Amino acid sequence: MKQSYEYFFVEEIDSTNRFLRDMVRKGDVSRAAVWASRQSAGRGRLGREWISPKGGIYLSLSSPMKVECPHYYTAALGIAAAEVLREEYSDDIFLKWPNDLIVVKKQSGAIHEAKLAGILAEYIADTPTEHHVVIGIGINVNTLPSLDANIGGFPPISLNTMRKQETPLEPLVKTLIERVSGIWSELECNPSRTMLDVVERWKKVTYTLGKIVQIQRRGGVVEGVAK
Ligand code: BTN
């Protein structure tokens, strides 16, 4: 059964993840989506800043966490974004494990990867009721943030750069919320089957499978082949 999600739009906020996390902590919302036109203090992974001028998508979603493994919620958001962007715009868009959406181009025999979007997941245990996830995605749409360049080893790219035209934000945000909340609702109602489904859908949009990956952690870097 599809759960209903409350939806909030704000013109400007420091960080949609911070805003939604505080509402969840207070027990004001549980299943919700917050979309901002711009962020004044957008947050990236590993304590980095996510430069968030008007023209990009800054979206966070929250849900009670029903399955043991919270990473399925993060994967579901990445899969939903990759599926929607591939269907609407380009097959060159992939989900790069764990939390990046990249554009891969072959030019003169060389492979170029550029970062289109990033995902930041937070797990919240100190709520009045159940544990929750708050997961945010920033997508470079009609703007190319000046900072965050070359983070994770690749430069930024935007849909505008790829398509050479402006992309309307609202339909994309709504489709994305629909797709993510659909998978998250399934995770709540039928966790075992949906976890398998998430893995199968992930295989179709991932760029990582079979490639050598490095996991960057605060304590250092671990390397291996993604399976
Ligand atoms: C990354 O470092 O790649 C993750 C970036 C995540 C940015 C998004 S924008 C919406 C949400 N609010 C934030 O402050 N960060 C996330």
pTM of the model: 0.91
Identify the residue with better confidence: 34 or 146: 34
- CA of 137 from ligand 1 middle (Å) equals 5
Query: Which residues line the pocket of ligand 1, CB cutoff 6 A?
Result: 15-17, 39, 42-45, 48, 50, 58-60, 100, 118-120, 136-138
Name residues whose C-beta falls within 8 Å of residue 37's C-beta, 6 or more positions apart in sequence. 10, 11, 12, 54, 58
The number of the ligand 1 atom at minimal distance from the alpha carbon of 48 is: 2
Tell me what pLDDT residue 208 has: 78
Tell me what pLDDT residue 164 has: 92
| Beta bridge pairs of residue 209 | none
Identify the residue with better confidence: 146 or 176: 176
Tell me what pLDDT residue 136 has: 98
Which of 18, 37, 58 to mutate for ligand 1's pocket (most ligand atoms within 8 Å of CB)? 58
Tell me, what amino acid is at 106?
K
Tell me what pLDDT residue 147 has: 52
- Any idea of the CA torsion for 187, 189, 193, 194, to the nearest 10 degrees? -20
Q: Taking Cα atoms as reference points, which of 177, 174, 173, 198 lies closest to residue 188?
A: 198
Residue 40 DSSP SS3: coil
Share of the chain above pLDDT 70, in %: 94
Nearest CA to ligand 1 atom 15: 43
Render pLDDT for 169-223 as a digit per residue (tens, 0 to 9): 999 999 999 999 999 999 988 888 899 999 999 999 998 777 776 776 777 777 7
- CA of 156 from ligand 1 middle (Å) equals 14
The number of the ligand 1 atom at minimal distance from the alpha carbon of 138 is: 9
Nearest CA to ligand 1 atom 9: 138
Identify the residue with better confidence: 1 or 153: 1
Task: Tell me 30's DSSP state.
Answer: S
